[in-house]
Amino acid sequence: MQTLIRNGIAFWPPDHMVRPIHILIEGDTIQQVSESQIQARPEMQVYDVRGHLVVPGFVDAHTHLTQSFGRGIYDNRHVTQWLQALQRHFTLTPEEIYTATLLGCLEAIQSGTTTVAEMTTVRTPGETAIRAVADSGLRAVIGSCLGDVQEGDNPPPEMNAQQVLHEMRGLHRRWHGECAGRITMRVSPVGLPACSEELMRGSRSLADELGVGIHTHCCEGETETAGAYARFGCSEVEALQRFGVLGPDAQLVHCVWLTERDKDLIAATGSSAVHCPSTNCKITDGLPPMPDLLRRGVNIALGCDGAASSGTYDLLKEARLAALLNKGISGDASVFNAHEILDMLTCNGARAVGLQGQVGVLDAGHKADMTVIEYPQPHLIDERRLLSNLIYGGAGSDVESVFVGGRPLMWQRQVLHLDAERITAQALEMLRSAHRILPD
């Protein structure tokens, strides 16, 4: 089936000038992008966006969507205490996991996200969280959130390295390529503070065998990062390099406590860094040296992380904070400019999660994933400064429509694929009675 998106405006490469756009879609893939009108035929599904701004769908390069039920519960804790509270108290039934994950997906869709890189809760009957992401209509690159080493005072792990690797292999076998390829899998050891050398080396071997990348937390907390020196005699990034984890398919989340050598290693290996500024600020991880990585040519993407730590699944909020923080900490007003931030939201995100060439740009041969921003609005005028105003003044509430694979998940602010009212009502009822997840 052919779909036509017509009468939009877009940021055209290479200079991001605003010009008209009309997009012809065949199945789930963009067939033609044109400044001129494309002739509509009776058999086409036509969506007239009425002069609104069309951008590539946003890529959230690191999420924990089930944590929507943890929002506001574990506040005012430093990362170490926050993690302990979460792991000790955040236990949900399979039904709650499904609804919590859908609630996170709903917020992501309503604020313009089309792809999520999800580190998910997998040890539940029917892999409930993965099923919820699949049911949401979002494109997703999913991995486990598992380790084999006890981290600090957190509860001990349930599995050893070989059991974790077996679990990862099984997830790939059951889910990779599901939903007509909309769901793909990555090997995702949770992070070195909770993983052994055996698990990290095994993760690289498994990722190479399966032809997928690696998604892991990296240098998030100062105490946790320092633990690498006690265990391995080197920094966390140096250990990951020694164990073979780094490389063009490695997706390193947070990257806060880096040495100069760490920065050079990330750049030299072509690894991607995922910046989650709301979490870094809210649970006081620290402010990562992203301007230094940017200057070294590192691919930087943006992630909302989990709402229990960040408070949001709105990537435009994350984008604005990333731009302002990195200008402030570097003292360089030119870094993290609007053009760079738009790339971080789109094509950089696609590269980080292993979907480069498939999503992240509006071009023939790419999946028809796109976000439509209402335009004009008082804070989004005029065309000559629209990109800057979107990044520094925009928010998810400006999103009017969202398409994944040419299919509208939201059209003119009405969510079509999910019952938003029912999900919200279910979540509210569950949270009102879920006293067990409250901290002491």
Residue 387 CB contacts under 8 Å (≥ 6 apart), including other chains: 11, 16, 18, 338, 339, 342
Decide if pLDDT at 126 tops 70.
no
Residue type at 142 in one-letter notation: I
Q: Give me the pLDDT at residue 436, please.
A: 79
- In-domain check, residue 420: no
Q: Give me the pLDDT at residue 25, please.
A: 98
Tell me: do 233 and 344 sit in the same domain.
yes
Rounded Cα gap, residues 227 and 252, in angstroms: 18
Question: Is the four-CA dihedral 271, 274, 275, 280 of positive or negative sign?
Answer: negative
pLDDT interval class at 290 (50, 70, 90): very high
Contact predicate 23/362, CB 8 Å:
yes
Tell me: do 243 and 296 sit in the same domain.
yes
For residue 76, give the CATH number of its domain. Answer: 3.20.20.140
Tell me: do 176 and 73 sit in the same domain.
yes
Contact predicate 258/226, CB 8 Å:
no
Q: What are phi and psi of 144, to 5 degrees?
A: -75, 175
In this prediction, residues 331-349 reach a mean pLDDT of 97
Q: Give me the pLDDT at residue 261, please.
A: 98
Q: What are phi and psi of 84, to 5 degrees?
A: -60, -45
Specify the length of the chain in residues. Answer: 440
User: CA 176 → CA 142, 172, 211, 250, 391, distances in Å?
Assistant: 9, 5, 11, 18, 34
3-state secondary structure of 360: coil
Q: Which of the pair, 396 or 158, is modelled with greater confidence? A: 396
Tell me: do 381 and 299 sit in the same domain.
no
In this prediction, residues 335-349 reach a mean pLDDT of 98
- In-domain check, residue 286: yes
- In-domain check, residue 431: no
Tell me: do 227 and 284 sit in the same domain.
yes
Tell me: do 222 and 306 sit in the same domain.
yes
pLDDT interval class at 437 (50, 70, 90): confident
In this prediction, residues 368-387 reach a mean pLDDT of 96
Q: Give me the pLDDT at residue 122, please.
A: 59
Strand partners, 113: 58
Element (H, E) at 262: helix 260-269
Tell me: do 65 and 128 sit in the same domain.
yes
Tell me: do 68 and 28 sit in the same domain.
no
Average pLDDT over all residues of the chain? 95
Rounded Cα gap, residues 108 and 116, in angstroms: 9
Tell me: do 45 and 104 sit in the same domain.
no
Tell me: do 80 and 47 sit in the same domain.
no
Rounded Cα gap, residues 316 and 394, in angstroms: 7
- In-domain check, residue 358: no
- In-domain check, residue 151: yes
Tell me: do 345 and 394 sit in the same domain.
no
- In-domain check, residue 427: no
pLDDT tens for each residue of 149-182 = 988 777 778 899 999 999 999 999 999 999 999 9
Strand partners, 372: 54, 401
Decide if pLDDT at 309 tops 70.
yes
Tell me: do 30 and 50 sit in the same domain.
yes
Per the structure, the complete domain to which residue 242 belongs is given by 58-352
Contact predicate 250/273, CB 8 Å:
no
- In-domain check, residue 83: yes
Q: Give me the pLDDT at residue 123, please.
A: 59
pLDDT tens for each residue of 193-241 = 999 999 999 999 999 999 999 999 999 999 888 899 999 999 999 999 9
Q: What are phi and psi of 103, to 5 degrees?
A: -60, -45
Decide if pLDDT at 125 tops 80.
no
Contact predicate 332/291, CB 8 Å:
yes
Rounded CA Rg of the chain: 21
* Residue located via tokens 């400006």: 398
Q: How many domains does the chain divide into?
A: 2
In this prediction, residues 390-411 reach a mean pLDDT of 97
Decide if pLDDT at 384 tops 90.
yes
In this prediction, residues 69-96 reach a mean pLDDT of 91
In this prediction, residues 353-380 reach a mean pLDDT of 98
- In-domain check, residue 383: yes
For residue 20, give the CATH number of its domain. Answer: 2.30.40.10
pLDDT interval class at 121 (50, 70, 90): confident
In this prediction, residues 41-62 reach a mean pLDDT of 97
Decide if pLDDT at 124 tops 70.
no
